[in-house]
Amino acid sequence: MKNKLNELRAEFLEELSRATNNDHLRDLELKFLSRKGQLSELMGGLKDLSAELKKESGELANTVKKELQDKFEEMKKSLNSYVSKTENIDVTLPGNKISQGHLNPITLVQNELEDIFSSLGFMILDGPELESDYFNFTALNVPPSHPARDMQDTFYVDQKNKDGQYDLLMRTQTSPVQIRAMLKYGAPLKALVPGRCFRNEATDARHDHTFYQVEGLLIGKDISFANLKSFLELVGQKLFGPNTKLRMRPKFFPFVEPGNNGEYTCFLCQGKGCRVCKYTGWLEIVGAGLIHPDVLRAGGIDPEVYSGLAFGFGLTRLAMLKYNINDVRLFNSGDIKFLEQF
Ligand code: DAH
């Protein structure tokens, strides 16, 4: 009996050492450890032994049984931790959803404008957000102490420039890039400048300290007010559809002469009158005019040879109209619930 137990033990341990998966383990369990397995069978013979042998063999049988069960459990654990790391991957399960980012509605409108204007042969330009007083105001015909400065208060930087003057500010408009573009590229010139602007304003649903504009300019020979009108008509039709009409109303902007506000038939009600256009049928969209000769001169262009038109859109305002957004602060809020809607 003792010999048989030792043989069985050796055989079991040998087979266990070769087991590489759960099926092997299940077979081993059945063969050796189950109720009808070899160990039970052997132990069943104990009852036929003499009292003395029964005691000795019984003790050995119990030790062997415990050892084999322990070794078996050990193997099962190590095999399963290995298997779960390597083989137990169900490749048919659906994967984790990768969430997709969204473009800010301002970017969407900016992309649309860039498409329209590059199809008309305009360069798309950039300019600095931290601008000098000269480019933001003086070169645009708004010298120090000009009353037009009052309408565009901004954030001034507490640091002197290389000439020892405090003249750095966050730009209030994209218009300074008109001058930068003229100085860099000369005439003739067609450029569109989308960008971020800043004003020192109390914020509410319609005003924010940070917003976006788009500036445009077209400089060539004999550019007239008639060109400005037909050009703005074309832009309106591209933006809001072929039936869009333009109406121009005089307005003062220091860097153009004459200056005007361009209004388009409301794209929501087609001019019938609704909440968005305040029941007028018109939306005030674009400031524009013929570039003032002094501004051309500041850009190094001779106003006796060249003339040009300039215009400015509120990109943020356009996005609010287009997507029916009623609070300007949402754009910079970083609110994912807002952004996910676009
Ligand atoms: N810069 C003007 C503003 O912020 C908008 C503007 C008006 C731009 C007329 C222009 C223009 O180029 O011709 O209010």
Predicted confidence (pLDDT) per residue in 244-295, tens digit? 999 999 999 999 999 999 999 999 899 999 988 999 999 999 999 999 999 9
**Position in ligand 1 atom list of the atom nearest CA 288:** 13
Per-residue model confidence as pLDDT tens digits over 108-142: 999 999 999 999 999 999 999 999 999 999 999 99
Distance CA 247, CA 253 (A): 17
Q: Is the pLDDT of residue 188 over 80?
A: yes
Which atom in ligand 1 lies closest to the alpha carbon of residue 312? 8
Amino acid in position 326: N
Residue 184 in tokens: 């860099």
pLDDT recorded at residue 84: 58
What would the pLDDT profile of 291-335 be if each residue is shown by its tens digit? 999 999 999 999 999 999 999 999 999 999 989 899 999 998 888
Q: What spacing in Å lies between the alpha carbon of 234 and ligand 1's midpoint?
A: 19
User: Which residues have CB under 6 Å of ligand 1?
Assistant: 173, 175, 215, 253, 256, 259, 287-289, 310-312
Q: Residue 40 pLDDT more than 80?
A: yes
CA distance 315 to 286: 10
d(CA 262, CA 251): 9
Could you tell me the pLDDT band of residue 51, with boundaries at 50, 70 and 90?
Answer: confident
Q: What is the pTM of this model?
A: 0.72
Give the CA diameter of the chain: 131
Measured from the CA of 178, which atom of ligand 1 is nearest? Answer: 12
Closest C-alpha residue for ligand 1 atom 5 = 312
Distance 207 CA to ligand 1 centre (A): 17
Whether 53 shows a pLDDT value over 90: the answer reads no
What would the pLDDT profile of 55-101 be if each residue is shown by its tens digit?
888 888 899 889 989 998 888 888 777 655 656 677 888 888 888 88
For atom 3 of ligand 1, the residue with the nearest CA is 173
pLDDT of residue 80: 76
Q: Nearest residue CA, atom 12 of ligand 1?
A: 311
Q: How far is the CA of 213 from the centre of ligand 1 (A)?
A: 9
Q: Which atom of ligand 1 is nearest to the CA of 255?
A: 13
The two three-digit tokens of residue 273, written as one number: 């009158």
Q: For residue 303, how far is its CA from the centre of ligand 1 (angstroms)?
A: 20
Compute, in angstroms, the gap from residue 250 CA to the centroid of ligand 1. Answer: 13
In the structure encoding, which two tokens stand for residue 84, read together? 């779960």
Question: Distance between CA atoms of 102 and 129, rounded to whole angstroms?
Answer: 24
Q: How far is the CA of 340 from the centre of ligand 1 (A)?
A: 32
Handedness of CA 237, 192, 247, 323 (dihedral sign): positive
Q: Is residue 2 within 8 Å of residue 60, measured between CB atoms?
A: yes
Pick the range with the lowest mean pLDDT from 128-132, 144-148, 157-161, 260-264: 157-161
CA of 292 to the centre of ligand 1 (A): 12
| pLDDT of residue 165 exceeding 90 | no
Q: The CATH number of 105-339 is which of 3.30.930.10, 2.40.128.20, 3.20.20.140, 1.10.1740.10?
A: 3.30.930.10
Asked if pLDDT for residue 25 goes beyond 80, the answer is: yes
Structure tokens at 126: 């950039």
Residue whose CA is closest, atom 2 of ligand 1? 312
Residue nearest to atom 6 of ligand 1 (CA): 312
104: tokens are: 């800010």
Nearest-atom index, ligand 1, CA of 215: 12
Cα-to-centroid distance, 159 and ligand 1 (Å) = 28
Ligand 1 pocket: which of 154, 175, 179, 211 to mutate (most atoms within 8 A of CB): 175
**Which pLDDT score, from 0 to 100, does residue 112 have?**
95
**What is the 3-class SS of the chain, one letter each residue?**
CHHHHHHHHHHHHHHHHHCCCHHHHHHHHHHHHCCCCHHHHHHHHHHHCCHHHHHHHHHHHHHHHHHHHHHHHHHHHHHHHHHHHHCCCCCCCCCCCCCCCCCCHHHHHHHHHHHHHHHCCCEECCCCCEEEHHHHCHHHCCCCCCHHHHHHCCCECCCCCCCCCCCEEECCCCCHHHHHHHHHHCCCEEEEEEEEEECCCCCECCECCEEEEEEEEEEECCCCHHHHHHHHHHHHHHHHCCCCCEEEEECCCCCEEEEEEEEEECCCCCCCCCCCCCCCCEEEEEEEEEECHHHHHHCCCCCCCCEEEEEEEEHHHHHHHHCCCCCHHHCCCCCHHHHCCC
Would you kindly state where each structural domain of the chain is located, as residue ranges?
2-86, 105-339
Give the tens place of pLDDT for each residue, 200-239.
Answer: 999 999 899 999 999 999 999 999 999 999 999 999 999 8
How far, in Å, from the CA of 179 to the mean position of ligand 1?
A: 13
